[in-house]
């Protein structure tokens, strides 16, 4: 069967998600321009056709130490791209963290944030970037809100990444959130498959990309003990943080469920992670 070969430009191609997207697209014989942050100014100045652009550039989850960097990554860069790039589609990656204070998690839910709360800065800058995209008159300018993405070599700054880095280094994990805390986790493999489809054929402007079900910390701890024999514990009086289940009806109806199951995937994830820890040269193959 002939491959429908198209051009994709991945912004932030050296990051966790960017690398996964580049690898997936190249495996499907697509034309891929992998653009790092350092190469972004040259891309914008060139004003050449960029095909389907997926913007993976983002600040860390805790952007309080560098708020201006977060604003530039989530808002300023988006404005430059919408103004200066020639694209067939533009897909901005946002986060389901924007639902932190919401009563519902469907894409059209009313959202709120408190500007004086430093912990809301991440969501506010993400929402500002979203607003720029959704105000753009081109129907192919879209937003994908991603839940907690897991996969080999995930950043240690994420909750699950930090948990696994602890375990690899010490053989034990201390959870600083209560055992009944729960999050939605989606696999990087599912994300890498789904995002190009949204970019090319999405019928909506805004999508949640998530598993659609939450996994609690107690279940993760028990699984880690069972698989890796790591010692796990929970800090006394640790806060309980339970995110609302993410509504995935829109993406599931159009593209099918992500099929993500963190507890089922943990054995493979740990095995590949330990291999990468022992042999850095194998890291790109494990991804």
pLDDT (mean) for 197-210? 98
Q: What Å distances lie between residue 154 and 40, 96, 162, 259, 287, CA to CA?
A: 23, 17, 9, 19, 10
Classify residue 36 as exposed, middle or buried by CB count within 10 Å of its CB (0-12, 13-18, 19+): middle
- The residues near 33 (Cβ < 8 Å, ≥ 6 apart) are 7, 8, 9, 10, 43, 50, 51
Q: Backbone dihedral region of 147: left (phi > 0), alpha (psi from -120 to 50 degrees) or beta?
A: beta
Tens digits of per-residue pLDDT, 147-172?
999 999 899 889 999 999 999 999 99
| Residue-level pLDDT at 276 | 61
Q: Backbone dihedral region of 47: left (phi > 0), alpha (psi from -120 to 50 degrees) or beta?
A: left
Confidence of residue 66 (pLDDT cuts 50, 70, 90): confident
Sign of CA dihedral 266, 267, 273, 274: positive
DSSP 82-133: HHH-B-SEEEEEEEGGGGTT-S--STT------TT-GGGHHHHHHHHHHHHH
In the chain the domains, ranked by start, together with CATH numbers, are 7-286 (3.40.50.720)
- Answer whether residue 55 shows pLDDT above 80: yes
- Answer whether residue 52 shows pLDDT above 80: yes
- Answer whether residue 88 shows pLDDT above 80: yes
DSSP 8-class letter at 15: S
pLDDT (mean) for 216-224? 98
| Residue-level pLDDT at 4 | 80
Find, among 152, 246, 140, the residue nearest to 192 by Cα: 152
In the predicted model, what is the mean pLDDT of the chain?
91
Report the C-alpha gap between 141 and 180 in whole angstroms: 38
DSSP 8-class letter at 24: H
pTM of the model: 0.93
Confidence of residue 70 (pLDDT cuts 50, 70, 90): confident
| Residue-level pLDDT at 287 | 30
- Answer whether residue 218 shows pLDDT above 70: yes
pLDDT (mean) for 204-226? 98
């Amino acid at each position: 069967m002939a491959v429908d070969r198209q051009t994709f430009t991945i912004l932030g191609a050296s990051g966790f998600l960017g690398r996964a997207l580049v690898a997936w697209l190249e495996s499907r014989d697509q034309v891929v321009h992998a653009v790092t942050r350092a190469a972004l100014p040259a891309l914008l100045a060139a004003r050449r056709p960029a095909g389907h652009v997926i913007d993976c550039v983002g600040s860390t989850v805790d952007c309080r130490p560098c708020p201006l960097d977060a604003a530039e990554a989530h808002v300023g860069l988006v404005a430059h791209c919408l103004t200066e790039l020639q694209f067939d589609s533009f897909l901005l990656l946002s986060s389901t963290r924007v639902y932190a204070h919401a009563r519902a998690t469907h894409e059209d839910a009313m959202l709120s944030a408190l500007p004086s709360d430093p912990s809301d800065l991440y969501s506010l800058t993400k929402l500002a970037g979203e607003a720029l995209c959704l105000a753009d008159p081109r129907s192919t300018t879209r937003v994908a809100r991603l839940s907690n993405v897991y996969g080999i070599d995930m950043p240690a700054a994420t909750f699950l990444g930090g948990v696994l880095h602890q375990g690899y280094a010490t053989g034990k994990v201390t959870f600083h959130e209560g055992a009944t805390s729960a999050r939605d986790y989606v696999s990087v493999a599912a994300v890498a498959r789904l995002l190009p489809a949204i970019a090319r054929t999405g019928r909506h402007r805004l999508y949640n990309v998530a598993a659609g079900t939450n996994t609690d910390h107690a279940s993760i701890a028990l699984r880690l003990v069972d698989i890796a024999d790591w010692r796990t514990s929970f800090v006394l009086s640790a806060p309980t943080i339970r995110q609302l289940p993410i509504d995935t009806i829109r993406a599931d109806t159009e593209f099918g469920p992500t099929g993500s199951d963190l507890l089922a995937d943990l054995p493979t994830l740990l095995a590949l992670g330990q291999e990468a820890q022992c042999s850095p040269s194998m890291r790109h193959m494990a991804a």
